[in-house]
Amino acid sequence: MPNPPEWQKWEKSTGNTIGQAQEKMGISDLMFLAYHAHKREAAGKTVKAYEVWCETVTDVIVGDALPKKPPRRKPK
């Protein structure tokens, strides 16, 4: 999930607000958020230009890739 810095960049770039994300987001918005999260996590290391990076993306998963298991209930 993107953090506030990525959402801020997305809002500034698109003119949309985070409250509009669910109805307005498309694949290019998801790629934008993912790229900026990747770039921030690289912490100063060299990162490919956005257009080049986009060409390397092979799959997009929306939601938790590894959903959390619900807690086990104790038998009564």
For the stretch 19-71, pLDDT in tens is 988 888 888 998 999 999 999 899 889 999 999 999 999 988 776 666 666 66
Average pLDDT over residues 1-9: 84
Q: What is the pLDDT of residue 4?
A: 87
Kindly state the tokens that stand for 2.
Answer: 């993107």
The number of domains in the chain is 1
Q: What is the pLDDT of residue 21?
A: 87
CB 62 within 8 A of CB 26: no
> pTM of the prediction?
0.69
Q: What is the pLDDT of residue 66?
A: 63
Q: In which domain, by residue range, is 33 found?
A: 1-76
